Structure 1
Amino acid sequence: MAGKTVCVTGASGFIASWLVKLLLERGYTVRGTVRNPEKSKHLLQLPGASDNLKLVAANLLEQGGFDEAVQGCDGVFHTASPYFTKNVTDPQAQLIDPAVKGTLNVLASCARAQTKKVVLTSSVAAVAFTPKRTAGSFVDESWWTDVDYCEENKLWYNISKTLAEKAAWDFAKENGLNMATINPAMVIGPVLQDSKNTSSEIIVDILNGTMKTFPNVSIGWVGVKDVAMAHILVFESAHATGRHICSERVLHYADLIAILSKLYPTYPICAKDADETIARVPIFTLSNQKLKELGINFQPIEDVFQEAVTSFKECGWLA
């Protein structure tokens, strides 16, 4: 793929930083869009960045704001979308508008530039959150999150990703865009950026004893390097279309605590069930067959946690 030019939106993010790193390693020329180039200096230190990476300021909510960045690109990876679950006071402005309008702005730029292929970073948040999911459910790419269910449970991020992906598929169909999506579970692993992301905060809070109780939920987990590589393999495969769930394993929070306690017995892990009188939410299965068929050999989540914690120590987030 040496000589091919691609654009990565939200290039300074957790997943996107790894995507940029792996693209550069494979010989791509990369244009990365960022909100604030000053907070993106870690990208300029990546091997190959001096010759093959250009950072461009872009605003998700500005119509036409991505026209210059995607012009002449062989492919576009749209990763930019806000991800946080705490302190959501205005879901529409904080999460939904940037996700939906931002995605449509990027896709409109791709349509004008006649981009050959777009890979959209969606989420399992757009797949698996529905009351029809029960114990032992096998969740594949045909599933969609139920927006009404998420509104009842104030799962605003899930709503943002679901509405954004549905809007993207409608736009791609109407405009003849060749698009595929990656739908990762909770992504964890070593960080390249210098700030904590949501999943990193969870692990740090468990290990340092800040988390006193854990929620009664089961969620999928996957390593960030596998997620980044999934984007690339889907882009490079002419036959890779549609949605692609990216998950190594589903864990109940109790299982997550047990794994971390075994790996790190000296840390002051103290999180307990938030309500021990309520039966634990059952485990379900997330299909990852489509990505396995493309060549992803998922790194065991225990190994991913260990790489992540080593990275967190280097960042000074853990002793």
Structure 2
Amino acid sequence: MEGDMKVAITGGTGFIGAHLIRALLDAGYSVRAVVRNPERAKRLEAWGVELHVAELSDREALQSAFAGCQQLYHMAACASVWERKSETYFNVNAHGTDNTLWAAKVAGVKRVVVTSSGGVMGPSVSGVVSEKKPRDLNYFNAYEASKAASDLVVLRYVVEEGMHVVLVSPTRVFGPYLWGEPASVSLMIKRYIQGNWRLIPGGRHWKGNYVDVQDVVQGHLKAMERGRPGSNYMLAGHNLTYGEFFKTLADVSGQEHTMVVAPIWLQMGFARVHAAFAKLRGKRPDLTTEWVRRGNYHWEVSPMRSIEELGVQLTPFKDSLRRTVDAFISKQH
């Protein structure tokens, strides 16, 4: 039990955030979730989480939200595929981090972990990506650029203000959802076992890094406990080709589907048409040409710093996939 230790978290209604809150509560922490929409956070309140409404643009409201908290996990971000104005990403991800760290400092928060993104490091063009390897290519989209700007904000507070702030950068996270509809890798898994996913984008040979959400939660907790201020820890898992990923998924689920490879030219054409129709309907597109280009690279990542310095223990990929598949199947019945 952690007694009277009070922990604040932004982004607690998200996929990783909800799992992290569950782990903190199970460990005996008192958790205060800073949220924009209290209606969406009612499930957290049912868990015994204290809710505090504040926008990332409101420094004073954030300061009030963090008052009395010893630790803070800053996970809130704009991670949508498309925004009407690219400034939105920077306002939320970079300026929002600035406001959050200012408020944490004034409120007397002792330690902070900020969730970045493995995408900031870029694809593995000239070798496996690590925290020490410079990025090979320009940023693919405003999201990546804004998260990189957020990382620089963190370093400024560490160097200039002497704050104890640690960065963590998850890769392609998957696992069971505690509520809501899954997204990204988890959604792909769900649709595959429903028989509704037959697509391999780009080719079977493209590699990505896939990590269990529980390993990511473990990485956050250990970064708070052991992480060095100003250091960035890649919360990475297993490097797999699409072919290896879907072969393992077929083995675990007992469902082997005929997969179709979509070449980049076809993906780009679909993305253009899809985005155009979405904008005409006043909706956000689920895919853009920037994200298609991003996906047609290898994204091999080394998890060694988080393993060696934080003591993160990776779950075998097949075990993680089996737990995810079982969770989705159980919700269908």
TM range (shorter): 0.7 to 0.9
TM-score, reference length from structure 1: 0.83
Counterparts in 2 of 1:174 and 1:288: CA distance versus 1, 3 Å: same
Q: Give matches, 1:197-212, under 5 Å.
A: 197-207=183-193, 208-212=195-199
CA distance 1:44–1:100, change in 2 (3 Å): same
Shift of 1:249: 0.9
Question: Whole-Å Cα distance in 1 between the matches of residues 298 and 13 of structure 2?
Answer: 35
- Of 211-220 and 103-112, more deviation after overlay is shown by 211-220
- Name stretches of at least 5 consecutive residues in structure 1 with no aligned partner: none
2:182 to 188, 196, 199: 196
CA change 1:11–1:285 in 2 (3 A) is closer
Cα displacement string for residues 69-119 of structure 1 (whole angstroms, at most 9, x for unaligned residues) = 11121111001112233x4443332x3321111111111101111211111
Q: Which residue of 2 aligns with 1:214?
A: 201
Q: Distance in 2 between matches of 1:138 and 1:71?
A: 41
Looking at structure 2, the residues matched to 140 and 165 of structure 1 have their Cα atoms a distance apart, in angstroms, of 15
Of residues 120, 124, 129, the one that matches 1:126 is 120
Kindly provide the CA deviation profile for residues 221-275 of structure 1, in whole angstroms up to 9, marking residues without a partner as x: 1111111121111212375761111111122323222221222242645342426
- Letter of the structure 2 residue corresponding to residue 272 of structure 1: V
**RMSD of aligned C-alpha atoms?**
2.6
Query: Contact 2:74–2:112 at 8 Å: present in 1 too?
Result: yes
Q: C-alpha distance in 1, partners of 2:91/2:299?
A: 32
Which residue matches 1:36? 37
1:163 maps to a residue whose letter is A
Aligned to 1:138: 128
Aligned pair partner of 1:233 in 208, 212, 222: 222
In structure 2, what is the Cα distance between the partners aligned to 1:291 and 1:311? 27
Count of equivalent residues = 299
Match of 1:182, SS? strand
Does the 8 A contact of 2:209 with 2:300 survive in 1?
no
Q: Deviations over 1:115-136 (max 9, x none)?
A: 1111111121122347xx32xx
In 2, distance between residues paired with 1:288 and 1:65? Answer: 38
CA 1:281–1:122 in structure 2 vs 1: closer, same or farther (change >3 Å)?
A: closer
Tell me if the contact between 2:237 and 2:303 (Cα under 8 Å) persists in the aligned partners. no
Deviates more, 1:228-237 or 1:288-297: 288-297
Indicate the residue corresponding to 1:261 in structure 2.
250
Encode CA deviations 1:185-233: one digit per residue, 9 max, x unaligned.
1111111132323332232344433453413543211111111121111
Residue equivalent to 1:168: 154
Residues 41 and 301 from structure 1, CA distance in 2 versus in 1: closer, same or farther, beyond 3 angstroms? farther
User: Please, which of 230, 243, 247 is the counterpart of residue 232 of structure 2?
Assistant: 243
2:273 aligned partner: none
Is the 1:206–1:271 Cα contact (8 Å) retained in structure 2?
no
Q: Distance in 1 between matches of 2:227 and 2:85?
A: 40
C-alpha separation in 2, matches of 1:271 and 1:209:
12
2-side partners of 1:143 and 1:158: how far apart?
16
Task: Please state how far the C-alpha of 1:68 moved relative to its aligned partner.
Answer: 1.2
Q: Indicate how the Cα distance of structure 1 residues 188 and 261 shifts in structure 2: closer, same or farther if over 3 A, else same.
A: same
Alpha-carbon distance in structure 2 between the residues aligned to 1:238 and 1:270: 42
The answer as to whether partners of 2:129 and 2:299 remain within 8 angstroms in 1 is no
Q: Which residue of 1 aligns with 2:95?
A: 101
- Residue pair 1:252, 1:283 contacting (<8 A) in 2 also: no
